[in-house]
Amino acid sequence: MTILVTGGAGFIGSNFIYFLLGRYPQDKIVCVDKLTYAGNLSTLKDALKRQNFVFYKADICDRGEIYKIFQKENPEAVINFAAESHVDRSIADPEVFLRTNILGTQVLMDACRLYGRVRFHQVSTDEVYGDLPLDRPDLLFTEETPIRTSSPYSASKAAADLLALAYYRTYGLPVTVSRCSNNYGPYHFPEKLIPLMIANAVADMPLPVYGTGENVRDWLYVEDHCKAIDLIVRKGKLGEVYNVGGHNERRNIDIVKLICRELDKPESLIKFVADRKGHDLRYAIDPSKISRELGWVPETSFETGIRKTVDWYMTHREWWEEIVNGEYRNYYEKMYGNR
């Protein structure tokens, strides 16, 4: 089988590529990535040594380039991870989010239609459901929860989901959609909460917690997400949405304190800063559909996953230090300088 993975030089896409290369050595993996600030070819250095892996630097919005790659590689399945993924950046500058996340998805699906009804999987997010109140732990996002987005990022992801489901109904394109909660693990770009706090704590820099730190996220180890996507692509029902999450809700402040403990750093590094605009209060996924229908269960506990993650960042300092010492410095200054 030839599988085309977009956004494979980013966090989850790269973990997915290594998962596929390990589990299906007979498959060919084609990666398409524009290598934006979030894409890093060094992440794929071990994959690039493999005969059954090929990399194309291309923009998913570039119809001509994408069609050429389809013609040459003839993929049987496309898994779309490529996206602008950071909520804060979408608040500062929404346009590229609409372009990549919506129009890029459309180009990929058009290519799937044109080159033989190729199976298409859209990697989406729980953020399309908006947020839940902090004082109603009984409420969870199901696949029936109405779409109610808060940020330009989540609105663009919701638009892409709807477009994918429209291509299923209108053109019969074999589509599935997954909506996962917050991932953590190796190769997570340092702009996001967990790697940012690790990188800052290592450097004894302030740990910037938005608002009161009481917002809740539902954390899943990235490998468990990869396994869920693989199951959906191979066994999921076409035209369906699957929620993915591991019932692991944590307050941001508790995550940051845990990282301080893991790294033996004082909590006095924590600095409460101005809140994110439109900041979603709580995410919590009900994964019962994927468990019931496809037998998926998360395998890595948070205690194990966070330890593995901290260890990975400590043993791969060159990977993230190169990032935080580059263009990222300007981003950090702009985002946190006067906060």
Q: Which residues bind ligand DAU (CB under 6 A)?
A: 85-87, 125-127, 181-182, 192-193, 196, 208-210, 215, 217, 252, 276, 283
* Tokens (6 digits) for 119: 């199976």
Decide if 153 is catalytic.
yes
Q: Name 308's Cβ contacts closer than 8 Å, sequence gap at least 6.
A: 185, 221, 300
For residue 55, the number of C-alpha atoms closer than 13 Å in the C-beta half-sphere is: 22
d(CA 150, CA 316) in angstroms, rounded, equals: 34
Q: H helices within 75-114, ranges in order?
A: 87-92, 95-98, 105-114
Catalytic pick from 59, 127, 218, 249? 127
Decide if 262 is catalytic.
no
Nearer to ligand DAU, 101 or 176 (CB): 101
Report the run of H or E that residue 194 belongs to, with start and end.
helix 193-202
Catalytic pick from 153, 184, 221, 331? 153
Interhelix angle 222-235/11-23, nearest 10 degrees: 60
Minimum CB separation of residue 309 from ligand DAU in Å reads 13
Chain residues that interact with ligand NAD, rule: CB under 6 A: 6-7, 9-13, 33-36, 38-39, 59-61, 81-85, 100, 104, 123, 125, 157, 180, 182-183, 189
d(CA 75, CA 73) in angstroms, rounded, equals: 6
Residue 105 exposed, middle or buried by CB count within 10 Å (0-12, 13-18, 19+): buried
The binder of 158, among ligand NAD, ligand DAU, none, by C-beta within 5 to 8 A per type, is: none
Decide if 127 is catalytic.
yes
The binder of 252, among ligand NAD, ligand DAU, none, by C-beta within 5 to 8 A per type, is: ligand DAU
Nearer to ligand DAU, 30 or 150 (CB): 150
The binder of 196, among ligand DAU, ligand NAD, none, by C-beta within 5 to 8 A per type, is: ligand DAU
Active-site positions?
126-127, 153
